[in-house]
Structure 1
Amino acid sequence: MSSSGTREWLLLAVLVVDAVLLAVLQLFFLPMRLDGRVLPAAGDLPVPVVVVLAMVTTPLLVAQAARCAAALGRTPLLAGLPLLAWLVALLLLAVGGPGGDQVFLPDWRTAVLLAGGALPGAFALGRALGSGKAGARRDGSRAAPTASTGPSSAATPGAQAQRAGAGE
């Protein structure tokens, strides 16, 4: 294994650890309120500012993991490792601890955090999985489209109507 490959594997491991740490911090700061202690006082409203952090960081982690997977010449599925680690960390924290402590809030903010982190991350993963992989060959060239790779023009209703009008 080359030093570049080792560096990419190390970077991928750091991205996974970063995803776990972000999940823990996001859950810890999820109950923040506008009560005048940390944030300004404004009627004791719940403000899940960490959802914005999740919306920004999970796609970035996935995109960087996709670059690592491409540099390693591996499947783009490796790009999903940070997203998977983030989700697993959140779900593990949902289970009560040994003393019955629960970090997971049973309200709307938790659902917003899950959606705000998972959906942009899944979108970035889908983009990584679909980025130029269709029709690609091992040598890097692209396969030429053939009649068997797409819908046949004979099967479309417009083509059938044209043939009927042309007397075929």
Structure 2
Amino acid sequence: MAAPLSRAQWLTLLLVSFDAVLLALLEVFFLPLRVGSLGEVPLPVTALVGAVTTPWLVLTVAKLVRPGLSFVPLAVWVVVVFVIGLTGPGGDLVLVQDWRALLLLGAGALPAALVLGGGLGRATAVSGAGHG
């Protein structure tokens, strides 16, 4: 059985989860960003932000808190994207209904899930090596 989390670990987990909330909000709200003189070219730069930041948050929790809890920032990010994107402030649909929404979800969740799986696999291999 794992040791209980220290106060610093709880604080780190809370802070990283709060970061996941803020990043998800910014990524959803700025997803419809367009460039050009008439706003004709969609520029989903927030999908790139999600592709970089969500795996980093998962890795941060795995290193500073515990690998078994590294799913928390990814779960928080996904829940916030769906809740705010689909029920938005005042019941508005904030998540755009085109390829940019799929790009944001894929670019944010897939790399983070790969980092999560790799970290959990390494943690399992290390803990299992001592029992063999």
Normalised to the residue count of structure 1, the TM-score between the two structures is: 0.69
Shift in CA distance, 68/49, structure 1 to aligned 2, threshold 3 Å: same
Deviation at 1:34, TM superposition (A): 1.1
Shift in CA distance, 83/98, structure 1 to aligned 2, threshold 3 Å: closer
Q: Which runs of 5 or more structure 2 residues have no equivalent in the other structure?
A: none
Deviation at 1:100, TM superposition (A): 3.6
Deviation at 1:132, TM superposition (A): 4.4
Aligned counterparts of 1:69 and 1:128: Cα–Cα separation in 2? 12
Instruction: Flag the structure with more relative contact order, 1 or 2, with Cα contacts below 8 A and sequence separation at least 6.
Output: 2
How large is the Cα RMSD of the aligned pairs?
Answer: 2.1
Aligned counterparts of 1:67 and 1:61: Cα–Cα separation in 2? 10
What is the aligned counterpart of 1:77 among 45, 68, 74? 68
Residue type of the alignment partner of 1:107: D
Structure 1 consecutive aligned stretches of length 4 or more whose deviation exceeds 4 Å: none
**Percentage of pairs with the same residue:** 41
Deviation at 1:7, TM superposition (A): 1.1
Q: Is the 8 A contact 1:135 1:143 kept in 2?
A: no
Match of 1:142 in 2: 130
Aligned counterparts of 2:123 and 2:19: Cα–Cα separation in 1? 28
Aligned counterparts of 2:58 and 2:91: Cα–Cα separation in 1? 33
Match of 1:14 in 2: 15
Aligned counterparts of 1:35 and 1:88: Cα–Cα separation in 2? 32
Shift in CA distance, 98/59, structure 1 to aligned 2, threshold 3 Å: closer
Shift in CA distance, 135/14, structure 1 to aligned 2, threshold 3 Å: closer
Residue type of the alignment partner of 1:35: G
Correspondence 1:121-136 to 2 at 5 A: 121-134=112-125, 136=127
Deviation at 1:101, TM superposition (A): 1.4
Correspondence 1:56-95 to 2 at 5 A: 56-70=52-66, 76-95=67-86
Residue type of the alignment partner of 1:12: L
Choose 1 or 2 for highest CA Rg: 1
Aligned counterparts of 2:25 and 2:89: Cα–Cα separation in 1? 17
Q: Is the 8 A contact 2:51 2:107 kept in 1?
A: yes
Normalised to the residue count of structure 2, the TM-score between the two structures is: 0.86
SS in 1 for 2:105: helix
* CA shift digits 1:26-45 (9 cap, x unpaired): 01110111134xxxx7x721
SS in 1 for 2:21: helix
